[in-house]
Amino acid sequence: MKDALVYMWETKVAFAILVILTVLGVAYIGYAQGTNYNCPDEVVIVLPGDTLWGIAEAFCTGDPRAIVSDMRDQNPHIGSTLFPGDRIQLP
């Protein structure tokens, strides 16, 4: 009886560890994929009609979603609308 209880406890602990490692692995993969891009280290001056998405596609390689998100984080002065003459630091 005691062996059966120990086996059940060990099985539950092993399962919990497996679940935790799986969650951490998925989170890491998502993070690594989200930052997989390359941009030059420069400031872009916004022209009429420019969008963050268009700037990301024109100057950088990789997933534009991640680039736009990082551009917003790095340039808090940029609102939802870009204006000609705005300066945007590429991530």
Domain that holds residue 45: 39-91
Q: What is the mean pLDDT of residues 11-34?
A: 73
Exposure of 13 in the CB half-sphere (CA atoms within 13 A):
6
Q: What is the mean pLDDT of residues 82-90?
A: 96
What is the spatial distance between Cα 61 and Cα 64, in angstroms, rounded to a whole number?
8
In this structure, the answer to whether residues 59 and 28 fall within a common structural domain is: no
Shared domain check, 51 and 85: yes
The stretch 37-47 carries a mean pLDDT of 95
CA–CA gap between residue 30 and residue 26 (Å, rounded): 6
What's the domain count of the chain?
Answer: 2
Residue 74 and residue 60 share a domain? yes
pLDDT for 1 beyond 80:
no
| pLDDT of res. 28 | 67
* CATH code, 57: 3.10.350.10
Asked if pLDDT for residue 83 goes beyond 90, the answer is yes
Same domain, 23 and 56: no
